[in-house]
Each structure stands twice: as C-alpha cells, then as structure tokens.
Structure 1
Amino acid sequence: MVKSEITSRLSSIKAKVILTQTDTTVGFISQNKDKLYEIKARDTSKEFIKVYSSFREFTAPQGHLSLRSGTCGNRIPTCQKNLVRRSKKTTFIVKNRAFRIAKNFLNSNIFRNIKWNYSTSANEAGKKFSREFCEYKADIIIEDKNRLNENSSSTLLKINNIKKVRLR
C-alpha cells in the first residue's frame, strides 16, 4: 500500500463513486446519492442505506445548523442502543431511515477521513454482480488480495421503542 500525506488530489472524493468490498458484499459507496441513483437506474423515492464509520459519528451533530438549533445527531430508542452499538453486518431502520455502523476494514487512505457514505450493492437493478458493469460505472475501484466477492447482504431490522422486526 502506498502511504500518502497529500490529500489534495482526493479533495473531490465526496463526489466520486467507489467500488469496493464492503463488510457484507461488493458495493458502490459515495456521498453523492444522485450519482448512485443514476448508476442503479433506481427510483428516487427509494432511499439508500447510510453507512457510518462509528456509533459516535452516527450520533454526532450533523453540521453547524444542528448545533444552532440545539438538536443532536441521529437518535435511536434508548432500549435499542446496545443492539445497534454491538451489531455486525446489520442494517437498521428507524423512522423510515436506513443506516448501518460499519468500520472500514480496508486500510485505505481514501476511507480514513470519510465519516459516512451512502451504500448500495454493486449490480444493475434486479441482476447479479457483473464486474464489467461495475468497473465501467465506478470512478474509483478499491480491491485487496481477496478480490471482489458477492456475499450475502446485511440483516435488516426495523426497530422502535417497543420492538424489533427482522425484514431480511
């Protein structure tokens, strides 16, 4: 791995679509959800999963507007906090917003300063993983010695103050 202290060439990384092995399967990740909608040819009413690098980033205030209004970051029911904090390979839905806490297991400079991103599986809508399609659509490809493997998707839980329901 090449270690670089210069990040200016990565200054527009937030607008890029990255193809990489995620904690569950091969995925496209980006902070630009419009590019993900375009790649997947997906209806804009269907949201993407927002993946946070840590539980602390998930609960942190989001920008200067939330600090002024006195609101904190994302909230989850108190009785479900330990479940979310300790979960692995699990996506949660709270108040119709899907999120996941997943540490970046690839030791990459690109991921080091990214606190969150949108994530989706790397395939055409309704089709299996195709390396040619993904390489054509991605701006950056990050791959380690294990290559890109289509594995099972994350567990999907809808949680609230009272119960949790497994959807996938």
Structure 2
Amino acid sequence: MLKNKVFLTQTDTTIGFVSQNAERLTEIKERPPYKHYIKAVNSLGTLKSFVRIPAAHRNRVRRAAKTTFILPNGHSYRVVRERHHLLLLNRLTWAYTTSANLSGQPYDEDFAKEAADVVITPLYNKSEASKIYRVNNHTLKRIR
C-alpha cells in the first residue's frame, strides 16, 4: 500500500517528494521520463543490495553525510542518516526522492501539498541541496 503513495516530507536536505513509484513522481513534476531520480536508502546494507560500490570509494560512501553518489551503473544513491527522514525510509527501506516542485520551478507549498498523497509534518524551510559526486572505479568528480 505504501509503495504507490507520494509523500511530502522534510528530507535530509530539503522539502521533497518521496515515493517508490518513479512514474508518479515524473507525472507530478512534469519531468522528462528519461531522467533518473536519486534513490535514498536507509542503510549501507540496503545500498549493497542494489549496487556494488568500487573499493576505492567505500570509505567515502560510508562516511558521507547529505551526499549523493552517481555510481558506475549510472544511478544515484544517498544513504540517509537524518532521524526524521529515516523514520519513513525504515518503513520503505528505499525510495526515490526529489524536490517538491515542478521541474525547473521554485518551491511552491500549495502545489506540493496538493500533489502529494500524504503530507508528513513538520516541514521546515529549504536548506541547501546535497552534494553530488560521480564515482568510477578509480575517479571521483564533483557534479554539484
């Protein structure tokens, strides 16, 4: 039942939509369907079930906070450690996460609350977005 819901919640970095249904998020945000979403996971064990982390970057991924990594399979992952956001992720184990706005537009609280199936309060002010790194077997490149 939770798998098809779109949640509006305070994520570890900003106010965002969280769901296991990427198609619903694409429809809500009016975003091109070929773009990937960041997959937020509740633990390193869950991350290991999706992808193999290159040995050169395992420590970096394990210790990073509020950081997204684009791994060699081309998908983005972030291990969440923030307590409030982790309450939801522990029930889902993983979820796609994205900002709560139309693609390319600023945050609009009315739109976000109308588009979400479930609103999880409290919603704080936006903070800065996560850092994004593209990791390869040997290289590391900062994207954002």
Output the TM-score relative to the length of structure 1.
0.80
Does 1:77 find its partner at 2:54?
yes
Amino acid corresponding to residue 58 of structure 2 in structure 1: K
3-state secondary structure, aligned to 1:23: coil
> Residue 66 of structure 2: which of 89, 97, 116 is its match?
89
Specify the SS of the correspondent of 2:83. coil
Q: Whose Rg is larger?
A: 1
What is the aligned counterpart of 1:159 among 116, 135, 144? 135
SS in 2 for 1:19: strand
TM-score (norm. length: structure 2) = 0.93
* 1:110 Cα deviation from its structure 2 partner: 4.6
**RMSD across aligned C-alpha pairs, in angstroms?**
1.6
The answer for the alignment partner of 1:4 in structure 2 is none
Alpha carbons of structure 1 residues 43 and 84: separation in structure 2 relative to 1, 3 Å: same
- Report runs of 4+ in structure 1 exceeding 6 Å deviation: none
In structure 1, stretches of 5+ residues that fail to align are 1-11, 61-72
User: Are the aligned partners of 2:41 and 2:89 in contact in 1 as well (CA < 8 Å)?
Assistant: no
Question: Displacement of 1:163 after TM fit?
Answer: 1.3
Aligned equivalents of 1:56 and 1:149: distance in 2?
Answer: 31
Would you say 1:112 and 2:90 are equivalent positions?
yes
Contact 1:104 1:111 in 2 (8 A): no
Q: Give the 3-state SS of the residue equivalent to 2:84 in structure 1.
A: coil
Contact 1:19 1:122 in 2 (8 A): yes
